[in-house]
Amino acid sequence: MPKDKEKPQTTRRDFLRKSLSLIPLTIVAPSVMTSASAATGSEGVVNDYMPNFFNNSEWDFILAAVDRLIPVDENGPGGVSEGVPIFIDKQMEMPYGWGQLWYMHPPFVSAIPELGYQSHFVPREIYRQGIKMLNNHCIKKYGKPFHLLNIAEQDNILREAEKDAIQDGNINSKLFFTQLLENTKEGYLADPVHGGNQTLASWKLIGFPGARADYLDTVHRPGQPYPYGPVSISRKRGT
């Protein structure tokens, strides 16, 4: 993961566009890693939410990590205020979290990405093992868990995890980092009915209209920005 001065500034819009087009992205695009974010606060819709899957220490980690992956900046709300941690927690209680959407029978071998998921860990186990591993590493290195570290220290830990530089014999840190980053992007771009993107901020940012009933007023005007705010499946509207 490059340091802040090694690449030109990229925008949150670029980050989300790359996510939608499935272009691989690493965490530390400088505009995504900004000090404008609140360090660990469970802001907005997350304040009154009681997680069903994560325990207290795991929830603290998720809040802090999501806040570093998509922080508040000049382009709009961050992942925490948009409810991304809620999205992730809810997914862990869905068939996805239990690995019921994948073929989960041996043999489990190392293989190229084109051959699909190969780990014997389901997402729930990846989070349990991964958070424990990173928090233990933080305590050994800094004397406190991830959510109590300062922003620079948190960024350093996430860089190490992305490079697979943290090991504990049970799970590799790159697998956990990849899981966390993918779910964070999914939650930020999802329909609000699933827990994240509560103000439709990401849809407004990329110009996605959402679940509108028809487009007759605009279908014959190609190349022009869509003039109306997005609409959620639940009929929530963005202005």
The neighbouring-strand residues paired with 231 are 210, 237
180 touches 174 (CB < 8 A):
no
Does residue 200 fall inside a structural domain?
yes
Does residue 4 fall inside a structural domain?
no
Residue with tokens 């927690």: 89
User: Please, which residues have CB within 8 angstroms of residue 94's CB and are 6 or more apart in sequence?
Assistant: none
Residue with tokens 């989300």: 16
The better pLDDT of the pair 209, 52 is held by 52
Q: What is the pLDDT of residue 216?
A: 78
Does residue 106 fall inside a structural domain?
yes
The better pLDDT of the pair 203, 37 is held by 203
Does residue 48 fall inside a structural domain?
yes
Does residue 89 fall inside a structural domain?
yes
127-164, pLDDT tens digit by residue? Answer: 999 999 999 999 999 999 999 999 999 999 999 999 99
Does residue 31 fall inside a structural domain?
no
CB atoms within 10 A of CB 13: 15
Residue 202 sits at the vertex; the CA angle it makes with 197 and 208, to the nearest 5 degrees, is 110
Does residue 215 fall inside a structural domain?
no
Q: How far is CA 213 from CA 166, 228, 232, in A?
A: 48, 12, 11
Q: What is the pLDDT of residue 17?
A: 54
Q: Is the pTM of this model over 0.85?
A: no
Q: What is the pLDDT of residue 208?
A: 87
Cis before 123? omega within 30: no
Q: How many domains are contained in the chain?
A: 1
Helix (H) and strand (E) counts for the chain? 7, 0
> In one letter, which amino acid is 207?
G
Q: Which domain holds residue 62?
A: 37-70+77-206
Does residue 131 fall inside a structural domain?
yes
